[in-house]
Structure 1
Amino acid sequence: MSRNRERVIEVVENSFSQSEKIPPEDLMFSYRGILYPTTLSSPETLEALKSFEARSDDVIVAGYPKTGNNWLNEIVREMESTDAKYTEEEMEEIKNAERKLEIFPCLEFGDPGAYERMKKLPFRRIIITHLPPHLLPPSILQSKAKILVLVRNPKDTAVSYYHFHNNMPLLPSFASWDEYFSAFMNGKLAWGSYIDHLVEWNKYIDHERIMVISYEELKEDQVLGMKRIAAFFGFSLCEEDFPRIAKKTSFQTMKEKSEETHGKFGDILFRKGVVGNWRDLFSKSQNEEMDQKFEDCLGGTKLAAKMKYDVYCKA
């Protein structure tokens, strides 16, 4: 059981109720040129975020929406709790603390007072965010906290986000895939442009406290990916812990338990969890447009090599 399961359900279902009263054109707001969901955050919260104080033992997981964040979040939480060897009583204490302090599942969510309340959490904090580096609180990059950055091939990300945008009550929907594709390529979605997000993180790819992992490599060999994550964060796990956690956090297992773990959000969050689904929607011209954009912005970079674009994104 993850620390914030009940909190996730509460936050999302409250947001669903709020969104029913909001006109589609008001479902998102703009902050520093990027769109965000009105029911989950606010300009005041994002301003207050600048004052967030990172700790050296914070475990930070960063990834653009629909790159596999929920999956990686669950993997990291299971690994961290195994490393910390929490008792059931301690886990209950952790959940109660987060619930009492109204700690939200994502760093940029909630009210402006959330960051003061986070200071009261006594244990190692796992912090999830969709933000690019320039919008992270300065203390995160200045501290000794380590950041695990998740990336996914942009074509599958685009398709997954398309279905998410159209099924999520908190976000405006699109009349067609073509309309959505234009918005995706121009960054007119919640959390902005994915390509810009990747370009920013590529600048930090050699940073000693930042590790990049791809959705695809986790799909290829989850245990190997988990061992890299454990080494990066300094988690002490036994050899038998890795296959146990991999089984517990498989897509199928998480999908089957999604109603219990995420409430109404479960059906929206867990769709297919596969690699290569982009071929079902991309037209020839859209395929070429994405290839050209990726080449222009990230061609020849270390991040592009890490993502294996030529393997996962070629028709």
Structure 2
Amino acid sequence: MNANPSLEKMQSKLQMANEMSDEKKLFRFNGVLYPSLMCPEEHLKALESMKAREDDVMLVAYPKCGFNWMVGVLRKIISEAKGVKTEARVPPLIEFFGPDILKAMDETPSPRFLGTHLHPDNIPSSFDENKTKMLVIFRNPKDTLVSFYHFSNNNPVLPSVESWDSFFSQFMSGDVPWGSYFDHALAWEKKMDDPNVMIVTYEELKQDLSAGIRQISSFFDFSLTEAQVQQIAGESTFNAMKQSSANSHGNMGNVIFRKGEVGDWKNHFTPEQSREMDEAFNKRLGGTRLGAKLNYQQHCQ
């Protein structure tokens, strides 16, 4: 069995993180916090000149909105539809690549599978210019916050979390890696009419994964039989992904795939915190189409 160089590189970064002080694990770039080991300033600057292609398959998500789950689903869709396996980067985040990998990506045959947690204003302009299709996944902010909290608590490349209350405050003020959830949501709200952008929610996919696979395949112009759709759905439940994560994500598997539940926020939020999030959501996303799509009332009250 061939070693996965991408996985090996990640394990090496995790080892470095264990020897690094918390203060050095994050840095600000254009006002936004990023993990210094995984996407240093050199990486973010190199992205500005990245050449996107029209047939790139681009997956976008704010952290902990279901990105890694959808990475697995999209890999299977591409494999079934095109008969090709995409290179197993862990994960395929363009901000993790750096100049050397970006150069190698220019030689990679299509379709290239790419992903990012970046705010849409920070995604390289060539993606818009070349009309690259982007699948964007969002999740209700309460469950996103809980998942982000546990992820930060168990991820050595991020600073250790002082407490649930302190992380709640940081999330609400946008003082977390990749910035404010609400800033991301409002920026994608403006792109709801873009034919090259498809926004899906974590909750929709949990409810009916087969329907989501059909929609996503159609959006990227991939043709799947119903048998293929059902096979992918069966192999792509959160529990199935979690069980296979030791092979795909090494030691990080249990950190990345934790519970995958809708409504876990009820085990963490105080009534005051719940009200604070409700007020923030209504103020920032109330009356928006993305806000309606997130079905906040059903999932968060």
- TM-score tier (shorter): over 0.9
Residue in 2 aligned with 1:114?
101
Residue in 2 aligned with 1:161?
148
Residue in 1 aligned with 2:28?
30
Could you say if the C-alpha distance between residues 139 and 187 of structure 1 is closer, same or farther in structure 2, counting changes exceeding 3 Å? same
Could you say if the C-alpha distance between residues 299 and 109 of structure 1 is closer, same or farther in structure 2, counting changes exceeding 3 Å? same
1:72 maps onto 2:59 in alignment: no
Is the 8 Å Cα contact of residues 104 and 110 (structure 1) preserved in structure 2?
Answer: no
What is the distance in 2 between the residues matched to 1:261 and 1:217? 25
Matched residue SS, 1:257: helix
What is the distance in 1 between the residues matched to 2:202 and 2:230? 18
Residue in 1 aligned with 2:12?
14
What is the distance in 1 between the residues matched to 2:20 and 2:232? 40
What is the distance in 1 between the residues matched to 2:269 and 2:199? 27
Matched residue SS, 2:4: helix
Shift of the alpha carbon at 1:7?
A: 4.4
1:222 maps onto 2:201 in alignment: no
What is the distance in 2 between the residues matched to 1:141 and 1:256? 36
Is the 8 Å Cα contact of residues 226 and 242 (structure 1) preserved in structure 2?
Answer: yes
Could you say if the C-alpha distance between residues 223 and 7 of structure 1 is closer, same or farther in structure 2, counting changes exceeding 3 Å? farther
Displaced runs of 4+ in structure 1, greater than 4 A? Answer: none
Is the 8 Å Cα contact of residues 155 and 313 (structure 1) preserved in structure 2?
Answer: yes
Q: Which amino acid aligns with 1:272?
A: K
Shift of the alpha carbon at 1:6?
A: 2.7
What is the distance in 2 between the residues matched to 1:11 and 1:215? 29
What is the distance in 1 between the residues matched to 2:14 and 2:161? 18
Q: Which amino acid aligns with 1:32?
A: N
What is the distance in 2 between the residues matched to 1:293 and 1:142? 33
What is the distance in 2 between the residues matched to 1:210 and 1:161? 25
Is the 8 Å Cα contact of residues 56 and 110 (structure 2) preserved in structure 1?
Answer: no
Matched residue SS, 2:59: strand
What is the distance in 1 between the residues matched to 2:270 and 2:211? 35
Shift of the alpha carbon at 1:43?
A: 1.1
Select the residue among 277, 297, 300 that pairs with 2:264: 277
Shift of the alpha carbon at 1:104?
A: 6.6
Matched residue SS, 2:158: coil
Matched residue SS, 2:93: coil
What is the distance in 1 between the residues matched to 2:225 and 2:274? 44
1:209 maps onto 2:207 in alignment: no
Q: Which amino acid aligns with 1:123?
A: S
What is the distance in 2 between the residues matched to 1:175 and 1:30? 20
Is the 8 Å Cα contact of residues 136 and 198 (structure 2) preserved in structure 1?
Answer: yes
What is the distance in 1 between the residues matched to 2:284 and 2:6? 35
Matched residue SS, 1:240: helix
Which ranges of structure 1 fall in alignment gaps of 5 or more residues?
none
Residue in 1 aligned with 2:276?
289
What is the distance in 2 between the residues matched to 1:292 and 1:242? 39
**Any residues of structure 2 matched to 1:44-63 within 5 Å, and which?**
44-63=42-61
Is the 8 Å Cα contact of residues 217 and 225 (structure 1) preserved in structure 2?
Answer: yes
What is the distance in 1 between the residues matched to 2:145 and 2:292? 19
Is the 8 Å Cα contact of residues 63 and 151 (structure 1) preserved in structure 2?
Answer: yes
Deviations 1:258-313 (A, max 9, x none): 21221100111111111000001111111111111111111100101111111111
Select the residue among 123, 131, 135 that pairs with 1:148: 135
What is the distance in 1 between the residues matched to 2:197 and 2:9? 29
Residue in 1 aligned with 2:122?
135
Matched residue SS, 2:43: helix
Structure 1 length normalisation: TM-score? 0.92
Which ranges of structure 2 fall in alignment gaps of 5 or more residues?
none
Q: Which amino acid aligns with 2:65?
A: T
Shift of the alpha carbon at 1:243?
A: 1.0
Residue in 2 aligned with 1:197?
184
Matched residue SS, 1:213: strand
What is the distance in 2 between the residues matched to 1:45 and 1:255? 29
Shift of the alpha carbon at 1:139?
A: 0.5
Is the 8 Å Cα contact of residues 39 and 170 (structure 1) preserved in structure 2?
Answer: yes
Matched residue SS, 2:134: strand
What is the distance in 1 between the residues matched to 2:127 and 2:281? 28
What is the distance in 2 between the residues matched to 1:248 and 1:12? 25
Q: Which amino acid aligns with 1:57?
A: D
Structure 2 length normalisation: TM-score? 0.96
Shift of the alpha carbon at 1:190?
A: 0.9
1:305 maps onto 2:268 in alignment: no
